[in-house]
Amino acid sequence: MKNFISVHDVNNIDALVQQALAYKANPFIDKALGQGKRIGCLFLNPSMRTRLSTQIAAQNLGMEAIVFNVGSEGWALEFEEEAIMSGNTVEHVKDAAPIFGKYFDILAIRTFPSLKNREDDYSELYIKQFIKYAGIPVVSLESATLHPLQSLTDIITIQEQLKQTPITGRKPKIVLSWAPHVKPLPQCVANSFAQWVNAWGQADFVITHPEDYELSEEFTKGATITTNQDEALAGADFVYVKNWSTFKDYGKIYESDPKWMLVNDKLKHTNNAKVMHCLPVRRNVELSDEILDGPNSLVTQEASNRVWAAQAVLNELLRANTK
Amino acid sequence: MKNFISVHDVNNIDALVQQALAYKANPFIDKALGQGKRIGCLFLNPSMRTRLSTQIAAQNLGMEAIVFNVGSEGWALEFEEEAIMSGNTVEHVKDAAPIFGKYFDILAIRTFPSLKNREDDYSELYIKQFIKYAGIPVVSLESATLHPLQSLTDIITIQEQLKQTPITGRKPKIVLSWAPHVKPLPQCVANSFAQWVNAWGQADFVITHPEDYELSEEFTKGATITTNQDEALAGADFVYVKNWSTFKDYGKIYESDPKWMLVNDKLKHTNNAKVMHCLPVRRNVELSDEILDGPNSLVTQEASNRVWAAQAVLNELLRANTK
Amino acid sequence: MKNFISVHDVNNIDALVQQALAYKANPFIDKALGQGKRIGCLFLNPSMRTRLSTQIAAQNLGMEAIVFNVGSEGWALEFEEEAIMSGNTVEHVKDAAPIFGKYFDILAIRTFPSLKNREDDYSELYIKQFIKYAGIPVVSLESATLHPLQSLTDIITIQEQLKQTPITGRKPKIVLSWAPHVKPLPQCVANSFAQWVNAWGQADFVITHPEDYELSEEFTKGATITTNQDEALAGADFVYVKNWSTFKDYGKIYESDPKWMLVNDKLKHTNNAKVMHCLPVRRNVELSDEILDGPNSLVTQEASNRVWAAQAVLNELLRANTK
């Protein structure tokens, strides 16, 4: 593994999941691996679980983690090549990234999309520029279009659940279900979940959303897509709930019909489905209290697995890359 | 000790003070205790001494401390049960706290009062929700109504002083004296100091403030209360100076008569009283330069004891609670 | 070394440079030196390289580094003696600094000039007040008029280059060349570079800038000063590019003629000069892409040497000062 930006950086998803579960059982087993190594965690946008779990994962491996909030503790970076920097950006990624590459052994970055220009966001300019110029492994802490640490966590959590309650004779049915929200959100988590479940290939995968909320085929190809939520939920073993804004007419909210919120009544048509969400979740907008507080919710387990996902990824990067 | 929210969480104040003084003499004596343990320090409000001293105390015990500024690095939390989260809050404490509980061994939280609604503030909803949902020990880094780490520090500092200059044949006289300020401040430090001195029970305790600045009897009961500052100061061994806003007509400034500022002249009627303040202090508003820069001030010693207070508390929590 | 505020705190520049290069070759050679020691890094202003490199240097020495963003995580400090603090400042440095002195073994501070009042800025009140009241060694992470860690890095980088490509029979020619910028910047880096190159005394040192951009003679005395950039660049071995605002009519931008930007064409008259800049740099305003991306640029090497400069300074302070 050279970087960890999408599922394409992973050779063997199942092996990565097993490594994560090994760390969950024994967090400090590789405490010596990261001695004298340092990870820089750069936040161009806010973060809670990702921030904390990455720091903890690094510490579990004996690494030193240094967090830097680029905007508030530093200054605005420029990403465009050949920019004449007479505006608001203070430093070019071409100058900053190589220095991070000297200071750190691994660089982890969170950078959100603008949701204003689809082509720009989907070019993943920001994280690609960091990769181009840092000269060290780069880990996405969520980028403009994907959130791979979240998706790895999701696969880990699904596998844990399947180990506990095995499904035999058929693939588990996993449904990604759009949920209402009050603000236009990135497509990252949904894109990434679709990309990973498709790459994993061990599920009957259905995506359901209102009309006009189609995601990019780049990520969804292989899934069954329907605008009929009831139909999608029928017989589901896992329901992954998430809002996203429109992809085609980019970054908009077309409808936010509350009927798309998952409630207990809708679980009746499922196979007693476990409910997942990446958090943060708007309670009683995206998901009802009754679901989040009920026995079908996996959200806390899912979020706690973030540590082991990050630790498994850092482990691979440490082993594969030496300065 | 399950949590550290108020004096009621403490079995034996004197034992805790002795532990703190043992750490002051030998900071790293329990460096092995916290190995592999992690404290999360969550700041919903600004902090300097509390922030730094808690980090240092944790490191002295071999723990890893992770600081998270909830507002600026993350997002606004919701605390009301059954909230329909279509407003500005992004994540419910019911979802966030259990995850902190998975990531950390101890959770420390600073959360100020609104000073707008007394009932809400005095319900201590925020910190109680963290306790309810985190599932790990919670330490108050100052909450809506109390500041127990400060008060423990204050008792430590008083005991140090009494050890150095013993008072025999009578209890030391401790006076909590209201001071002017330019902004309405919480009652936390005053409430908490009163609560701890009363629980400690080894002082002649007097509270003095202008009319209309009565504190809640919940905390002051047991103390002598007077609006005559001169009378209060007569024969005092310790004067604890602090501003607070009104409790009854909640969160107001009724008067800010500069004559309430402590100056050297007022110390003449005391028993060469030592002067204490939790800091930050508005010089020449709350306390005069001459006092703060003079030989009677204990404020630096008091602030430096914050480390040992925090270390003694974390020690008890580590020993009493294992995951 | 008691503090590290300017070149005057250094006994032997060459020895400090050699120590830094020894750390570059072997970062963890003194990992035991800082065990149980703690550095507080206080930022009154934004920082990237300085912040990260100081944290890393401290960790390399086995110290614990605690970062505190004074403004955003704490509150505004007061620096004027005898202030009546009824305004916006919340805590006096007289009260804060002694506590930092108790919490930490070394205090590192970044504090920028106002650029509004020259006398105030050049009095270096802020950092001097920290030194006066902290009671522990103070390291400047850039103050109102100087940036000594940057200048030490610059001398290190020049010496590395001279070791690789020796110049014999004459002193190397070093040119400090003013560059255009969109905002009025402090004189710190230019002042400090001049001060250090003059104190080092092993160069033919020329400063060039447009009329009205004269720096303080306090720092430049010993250098040749000219407003003719071409003349200055002739035969140069090193060109240090930096913008600064006016010193006399303080803090202004008089002209920003783009012809002062260094481009490859201007390097023709030099001795294939290496180009230096402290970063952040406004590309195609201060320095052209072709220079920054070309073989003559030392900027990444220079910035990566920040770690070793800081480590050499912390080493001296740790060895010279014990609590």
At C48-104, the pLDDT tens digits run: 999 999 999 999 999 999 999 998 899 999 999 999 999 999 999 999 999 999 999
Neighbours of chain A (3+ CB pairs under 8 A): B, C
For residue range B198-236, list pLDDT tens digits in order: 999 999 999 999 999 999 999 999 999 999 999 999 999
Strands (E), C158-314: 173-178, 204-208, 224-226, 238-242, 274-276
Q: For residue A323, what pLDDT band results from cuts at 50, 70 and 90?
A: low
Query: What's the average model confidence in pLDDT over A160-176?
Result: 97
- Which pLDDT score is estimated for C161? 98
Q: Please report, in angstroms and rounded to a whole number, the separation of the first and last CA atoms in chain A.
A: 14
- Which pLDDT score is estimated for C256? 78
- Which pLDDT score is estimated for B321? 83
- Chain A residue closest in CA terms to C62: A36
* C-alpha torsion angle, residues B55, C110, A91, A105 (rounded to 10): -40
Name the residue facing C86 among B47, B279, B285 (closest C-beta): B285
- Which pLDDT score is estimated for B322? 63
Q: For residue A255, what pLDDT band results from cuts at 50, 70 and 90?
A: confident
- Which pLDDT score is estimated for A80? 95
- Report, in this order, helix, strand and coil percent for chain A, each rounded to 5: 40, 15, 45
**A115 pLDDT higher than 70:** yes
What average pLDDT does the structure give for chain A? 97
Segment holding B17, helix H or strand E: helix B13-25
What average pLDDT does the structure give for chain B? 97
For residue range A34-64, list pLDDT tens digits in order: 999 999 999 999 999 999 999 999 999 999 9
- Report, in this order, helix, strand and coil percent for chain B, each rounded to 5: 40, 15, 45
- Which pLDDT score is estimated for A256? 78
Domains and CATH numbers, chain A: 7-146+305-320 (3.40.50.1370), 150-303 (3.40.50.1370)
Query: What's the average model confidence in pLDDT over B302-317?
Result: 98
For residue range A204-233, list pLDDT tens digits in order: 999 999 999 999 999 999 999 999 999 999
- Which pLDDT score is estimated for C71? 83
For residue range B160-169, list pLDDT tens digits in order: 999 999 999 9
What is the C-alpha separation between A304 and A283, in angstroms, rounded? 19
**B323 pLDDT higher than 70:** no
Largest Cα–Cα separation, chain B: 63
- Residue C25's contacts (CB-CB under 8 Å, 6 or more residues apart) are none
Query: What's the average model confidence in pLDDT over B25-47?
Result: 97
Contact B95 A49 (CB under 8 A): no
Contacts of A38 in chain C (CB under 8 A): 56, 59
Q: Please, how many CA atoms are within 13 Å of residue B225, restricted to the half-sphere of its CB?
A: 17
The answer to whether B142 touches B75, Cβ cutoff 8 Å, is no
Write down the residue that tokens 């092995």 correspond to: B32
Residue B250, number of CB atoms within 10 A of its CB:
19
Bridge partner residues of C218 (DSSP)? none
Contacts of C285 in chain A (CB under 8 A): 84-86
In the predicted model, residues of chain C with pLDDT beneath 70 are 322-323
Structure tokens at C293: 């991306």
- Which pLDDT score is estimated for B257? 86
**A18 pLDDT higher than 80:** yes
Query: What's the average model confidence in pLDDT over B244-261?
Result: 93
Residue of A55, A89, A92 to mutate when probing chain C, most C C-beta within 10 A: A92
Contact A86 C282 (CB under 8 A): yes
Query: What's the average model confidence in pLDDT over B279-302?
Result: 97
What is the C-alpha separation between C243 and A174, in angstroms, rounded? 58
Name the residue facing A299 among B64, B75, B95 (closest C-beta): B95
Largest Cα–Cα separation, chain C: 63
Q: At what angle do helices A49-60 and B93-103 cross, to 10 degrees?
A: 10
Contact C68 B48 (CB under 8 A): yes
- Which pLDDT score is estimated for A252? 96
At residue C205, φ and ψ (nearest 5 deg) are -110, 120
Contact C102 B72 (CB under 8 A): no
The interface predicted TM-score (ipTM) is 0.96
Strands (E), chain C: 38-43, 64-69, 77-78, 91-92, 106-110, 138-140, 173-178, 204-208, 224-226, 238-242, 274-276
